[in-house]
Amino acid sequence: MLKIEEYEPDIAKGLKGKDLLTLLDYTSEEISFLLQYAYNMKQDTLQGKLPPLLAGKTLGMIFEKHSTRTRISFEVGMIHLGGHAMFMNARDLQIGRGESVYDTGNVLSEYLDGVMIRANSHEMVKELALHTSVPVINGLTDIFHPCQALADLLTIKEVKGSLAGLKLAYVGDGNNVAHSLVIAAANMGMHVAVATPKGFEFNPNLLVKAKKIAVLNGGSVYDTIDPVDAVLDADVVYTDVWTSMGQEEEAALRLEAFKAFQINDKLVAHAKKDYLFLHCLPAHREEEVSASVIDGPNSRVFQQAGNRLHAQKAVLASLL
């Protein structure tokens, strides 16, 4: 594999030291670079040829929310790249006892080469990045999940061979995963249909931005309340849980509101025969998706989860 400074040097130079808070801050060329770099890294990892690009570097990982894929993929990613990752539960830090974000950001900058944070509030993460001189990576907030979207597109590209012109149907909650996925797909010139129940729509301001991005890249984005309309002739069908962390009190309400939005055999019959099913996990079988779909031949959810590792490595090597 070419070293990052040798591979698309102008793009690589622009990414060094940059934060990853939302893919709205990244150009289509930068996203394409990260996807190709992740693919290259995956091939080198499988062949045991990945160089220690981050030897001597330390990533601090702050968690306000529980995690399986985010924590493990970032930690293993740093190990693969020759660096070290440090897990920090937000409750165990002074920020959990009232220390200001300003002080925390400045202190972390003295110790670390980068910070990955999985947080409740996107505004807090933005403030942390403002006061941190090293790159800050959004591992999930209430509005965005950019690292997940990179792994999603990497998976689609691996299976389908390209991204531009494909139809992606997102069916379910208009949440952080949906926001980042649609923005990423719009940048790649995909045609995106978002189907959400009334009251659980995709953020309207982000929808406007995604539509503009898609048009610039030869794609399109539209929203609907009809899952069949969204899935019709889709190349990719994607969903997420109906009740995310912190929304447990809304579970009964959401089960009722989303019952017509389950991804099942009847719904995916409207997609292309070779459609690809994706889910960011964890999944609730027979809730947002039937077991027959998520465990069926069109599902690539574990390949998708595995690609979190390689997408993370591309981000880490580029920014750090």
In the residue annotation, 247 being an active-site residue is answered as: no
312 is catalytic: no
Q: Is 224 exposed, middle or buried (0-12, 13-18, 19+ CB in 10 A)?
A: middle
Q: For residue range 251-278, list pLDDT tens digits in order.
A: 889 999 999 999 999 999 999 999 999 9
pLDDT of residue 2 exceeding 70: no
Total Cβ atoms within 10 A of residue 264: 14
Annotated catalytic residue, options 254, 280, 300, 304: 280
Q: Is residue 280 annotated as part of the catalytic site, yes or no?
A: yes
Per DSSP, the three-state class of 295 is coil
Supply the pTM of this predicted model.
0.95
Is 254 catalytic? The answer is no
> What does the alpha-carbon distance between residue 168 and residue 193 come to, in Å, rounded to a whole number?
6
Contact yes or no for 154/310 (Cβ under 8 A): yes
- The verdict on whether 223 is a catalytic residue reads no
Reported as a pLDDT band with limits 50, 70 and 90, residue 248 is confident
Rounded CA-CA distance 122/128 in Å is: 10
DSSP H helices in 131-261: 146-160, 176-187, 204-216, 227-231, 251-258
Q: How far is CA 2 from CA 36, 53, 83, 305, in A?
A: 12, 11, 19, 25
Res. 83: pLDDT tops 70: yes
Is 94 annotated to bind a ligand? Reply is yes
Catalytic residue among 118, 179, 254, 300: 118
Q: Looking at residues 202-208, what average pLDDT do you find?
A: 98
Q: Find out whether 145 is annotated in a ligand binding site.
A: yes
Question: pLDDT grade, residue 160 (50/70/90)?
Answer: very high
Between CA 247 and CA 227 the distance in angstroms is: 23
Q: Is 147 annotated as a binding residue?
A: yes
Give residue-wise pLDDT tens across range 84-137.
999 998 888 887 677 899 999 999 999 999 999 999 999 999 999 999 999 999
Residue 247 pLDDT level (bands cut at 50, 70, 90): confident
Tracing tokens 């999940």 back to the chain, one arrives at: 145
From 142, 152, 240, 262, the catalytic residue: 240
- Is 10 designated active site? no
Residues 4-43 as b/e (b if ≥16 CB within 10 A, e otherwise) read beeebeebbebbeebbbbbbeebebebbbbbbbbbbbbbe
The answer to the question of whether 53 is labelled as a binding residue is no
